[in-house]
Amino acid sequence: MATHASSAISIVLLSGFAYLLGRAIYNVFFHPLRKFPGPKTMAWGRLPWTATVLGGKPYQKLLDLHDKYGPIVRIADNELSIIHPDAWKDVYGHRKGGGLENTKDPFVIMGNEHNLLGANIEDHSRFRRVLSHGFSMQAIAEQQPRISTHIDLLFQRLHEQCDQGKTPMDLVTWYNRVTFDVISDMTWGEPLGSLEKSQDHPWIHAMEVSTKGLNFIGQTKRFPAPLTPIFEKLIPKEVKRLTRDNFMYAAINVEKRIELGESRPDFMEAMLRQKGERAISKEEQVANAFIIMLGGSETSSTALAAAVYYLLKSPEAFSKLTAEILSAFQTESDINVHNIQNLPYLTAVMEETLRVHPPLPNSSPRLVHEGGRVICGEFIPEGTGVSIPHWAMYHSTENFSLPHSFIPERWLGDPRFDNDRREARKPFAIGPRNCIGMNLATTEIRIILARTIWNFEMRLAEDSKNWGESQKAFVLWEKPALNVYMTPRNLPR
């Protein structure tokens, strides 16, 4: 019996090995993507790229690959990475004449099938119609008093705790607190209270960990079913628990917001008042509230921290922006939604920050629709995963001169950058699924950055002088503390 059992196991193992070997040979030498350049060590299967993603530095690996192999690189058996600017409209753009959309990769959107991030075309259009007005500039201007309440409290706390510039402040923490409080208030009717208590709400940590967890889980689901349980065991139990808790917290807060009724002007109000064909189910309300909270907080706080870091590493740029802000306003209260939009150097600083340190450094892959599609002049077979990695796109010398340097003047007509492919930079993506929160994010970044400079003279602490150089990214950046000495300017409030 033992001999027969041993023989059966051997046959199964040998059969499995033969299948994997045959599949690897097919992928490298006979697969439809074999014509695209890239390392053969990544073409045989999914595992090498998955290991790169889980290692936290896929953005740097992609730049290295594109520097070596060109604008289109095969990074796995059935996936391409593209950094040519024309790819934006070919991959993400609007389809003309009712053409098919390149769908989102189901493994990337897993758990988000009922919200703006991952819904099918029909549901996404329904969500977008319901929520779009709340993210318009008109609506943001109407919400200014509510937004200002939280921003005012941020600067009150910074003044209270800056110790006259003798003790460094972690701006990653403080920018997280204000952006989470703002979007929480605008989503389900009350802030998280992080600014009021001067401490992080547990959900901020849970959100960061669960985003990373969903990325890990999505990667494990790409492998054949017998291997999935093995890979899932590698995911820490704490990550799984916080991922579950995150959705539960969203559901609890949606219930609390429903009890307030429809009269309060916020994102939930727009969903609650829909009837008939536009009605948003409870499950969809929770899912959309979750993704609005994530998209409206972490990405803005990342951009703010990055802007301060690169400005303090670039004294000339910091000096120019300071001069523009201090000359543009008489008092701090003048820095508002209406007055902040037309400062050219502030806008250039924001544009350059979103290029050098895009809040979402990696990519959101799409699957090529039925029948295949021509992308950047190359026919790509249906079902192929195609992605445009922001960080690699923005740091390629094919698209930008001095790509690793923070130079806001590149957006202000400096002739050194006449050959830059500015259309390559799309931090909010394009097409029907571009970021719905772009207006809120850019307004928040402008106001908070301008008020930071109005209120404080700043210098980097020694332990933060390489803050932007070696971060890992799992969907979002894993940001260390950004410690900054902040000395009050004592200008008119």
pLDDT tens digits along 37-70: 999 999 999 999 999 998 999 999 999 999 999 9
CA atoms within 13 A on the CB side of 443: 24
Q: Tell me the per-residue pLDDT of 206-262, one tens digit each, with 9 for 90 and over.
A: 888 878 877 777 777 777 766 677 777 777 788 778 878 888 888 898 888 888 876
Q: Which residue has the tokens 């969203």?
A: 250
Residue ranges for the known binding site for heme are 435
Radius of gyration of the chain (CA): 24
- 355 pLDDT above the threshold of 60: yes
CA 203/CA 216 separation, integer angstroms: 19
Tell me the two tokens of residue 231. Answer: 């890979």
CA 320/CA 183 separation, integer angstroms: 31
Per-domain boundaries in the chain: 31-488
CA 17/CA 236 separation, integer angstroms: 29
CA 150/CA 142 separation, integer angstroms: 15
CA 132/CA 119 separation, integer angstroms: 16
Q: Tell me the per-residue pLDDT of 286-323, one tens digit each, with 9 for 90 and over.
A: 889 988 998 889 999 999 999 999 999 999 999 999 99
| Residue 335 amino acid letter | I
What is the band of 265 on the pLDDT scale with cuts at 50, 70, 90? confident
Residues whose CB is less than 8 angstroms from the CB of residue 391 and which lie 6 or more positions away in sequence, other chains included: 59, 60, 62, 63, 358, 361, 362, 473
Instruction: Give the least confident one: 125-129, 232-236, 268-272, 315-319.
Output: 232-236
Helices (H), 221-362: 228-232, 237-259, 267-272, 282-295, 298-313, 315-328, 344-356
Name the DSSP letter for residue 104: E
Residue whose C-alpha is closest to residue 179's, from 356, 434, 440: 440
The whole model's pTM is what? 0.93
For helices 171-188 and 298-313, the axis angle rounded to 10 degrees is 150
- 370 pLDDT above the threshold of 80: yes
The reported pLDDT for the residue numbered 7 is 63
Residue ranges for the known binding site are 435
Average pLDDT over residues 185-208: 90
Tell me the two tokens of residue 4. Answer: 């027969």
The reported pLDDT for the residue numbered 144 is 92
Q: To the nearest whole number, what is the mean pLDDT of the chain?
A: 90
Q: Which residue has the higher pLDDT, 268 or 147?
A: 147
CA atoms within 13 A on the CB side of 466: 4
The reported pLDDT for the residue numbered 115 is 87
Task: Say if CB 350 and CB 307 are below 8 A apart.
Answer: yes
**What's the longest Cα–Cα distance across the chain?**
90
- 107 pLDDT above the threshold of 90: no
Residue whose C-alpha is closest to residue 478's, from 491, 468, 464, 465: 468
Tell me the two tokens of residue 208. Answer: 């960061």
Whole-number percent of the chain with pLDDT over 70: 93
CA 32/CA 39 separation, integer angstroms: 16
CA atoms within 13 A on the CB side of 461: 17
The reported pLDDT for the residue numbered 110 is 64
- 271 pLDDT above the threshold of 80: yes
CA 280/CA 429 separation, integer angstroms: 25
- 12 pLDDT above the threshold of 60: no
CA 292/CA 253 separation, integer angstroms: 13
In sequence order, the β-bridge partners of residue 372 are none
CA 291/CA 316 separation, integer angstroms: 38
Task: Say if CB 454 and CB 489 are below 8 A apart.
Answer: yes
Q: Which residue has the higher pLDDT, 105 or 399?
A: 399
| Residue 366 amino acid letter | R
**Cα-based angle 282, 283, 288 (whole degrees, multiple of 5):** 100
CA 465/CA 453 separation, integer angstroms: 19
CATH topology of domain 31-488: Cytochrome p450 (1.10.630)
The reported pLDDT for the residue numbered 9 is 60
